[in-house]
Amino acid sequence: MVNKREAVTCEQVRNLLDAYSDGEPSAAVRAEIGDHLQRCAECAETAEAHMRVKNLLQRAVQSETTPDALRLKIQNQIRANQQKVNAPFAQRRLAFAAVPVLAVLCVGAWGIYSSLHHQQVSSANHEASSDRALSAQASELFDIGLGDHIHCALKSGFANEHSTFEEMAHQLGADYSNLVPIVKERAGAEYEVVAAHHCAYGEREFVHLILRDGETILSLVITRKDGESFAGRGNTAASLPSGVPLYQGRLRDFEVAGFETDSHLAFIVSNLGAGDNLQVASNLAPSVRDFINNLEA
């Protein structure tokens, strides 16, 4: 276990990556690991490789019925590399980096084989997918909110918190503490606001509220504009009756909806389907927009 009275070490972080990515350690331990990953580029690189492997395998399992022999081969390779945790760090990095390559090759080979048996692709599905394609400029903008969601809610484990209102109010400060009951009321009774705080990622500062309903994790991410706007980036907007234009797209297997005020960008990011994510965004956008505008008045 991590000694909470001492700074967490690189060795401890690497040994806890599996548990950390599954949200198993205590909140205090996750916070220590998250802080270490922000400061240590080498451990952050290892953690990202680890998450790429897990995500790749999850997508492969969801999209294809992979033969048992192939799945066993990948699992054995992962175990073999995990057994090298006591090797010098440079060797561990090379071993860890090899796992995504092996997974890509194995799953890619199976995908080619499988595609020979699925030559008929639905034109309707293809058109729906094309309709949801994002321009490079739109992807760059959506990635602002998505990046903070992944870094903070998922990688740093804040989606596993169960903070009290007093704790969230303290983290948000006087200006934003009243946003918590507004979001709780507008998001829907099924959602619990589990964490709310100020955070920083990618040289930007955010106000971040994290909601959860079982396995559904949803973030409201707010950040000040730095010259950006949704308009003119190849997005199509759906206007609410309140007059709030909502922009939506799918990026890196997450649904992202966004809107803006004169001074801020706001994003709703989740693992929901497109329609459900847009519905939550529609519920939240008018009240959140009015809150921000009143704050800036």
Same domain, 96 and 35: yes
Contact present, 99 and 107 (Cβ < 8 Å): no
Instruction: Summarize pLDDT for 160-192 with one digit per residue, the tens.
Output: 999 999 999 999 999 999 999 999 999 999 999
For residue 103, give every residue at least 6 positions away whose Cβ sits within 8 Å of its Cβ, in sequence order, or none. 53, 56, 57, 60, 74
Task: Please check whether residue 286 lies inside any domain of the structure.
Answer: yes
Same domain, 236 and 188: yes
**Domain boundary, last residue among 88, 115, 142:** 115
Other Cβ atoms closer than 10 A to 126: 10
Domain of residue 207 covers 133-296
Instruction: Summarize pLDDT for 51-91 with one digit per residue, the tens.
Output: 777 766 666 555 555 565 565 666 666 666 555 544 444 44
Same domain, 164 and 93: no
Distance, in Å, from the CA atom of 157 to the CA atom of 170, rounded to the nearest integer, reads: 19
Residue 289 confidence (pLDDT) above 80? yes
Percent of the chain with pLDDT over 70: 70
Same domain, 242 and 278: yes
Instruction: Summarize pLDDT for 6-47 with one digit per residue, the tens.
Output: 677 888 878 887 777 777 777 778 788 888 888 888 888 888
Contact present, 223 and 204 (Cβ < 8 Å): yes
pTM (2 d.p.): 0.57
Tally of domains within the chain: 2
Instruction: Give residue 107's pLDDT band: very low, low, confident or very high (50, 70, 90).
Output: low
Same domain, 100 and 51: yes
What's the pLDDT score for residue 38?
A: 82
What's the pLDDT score for residue 108?
A: 57
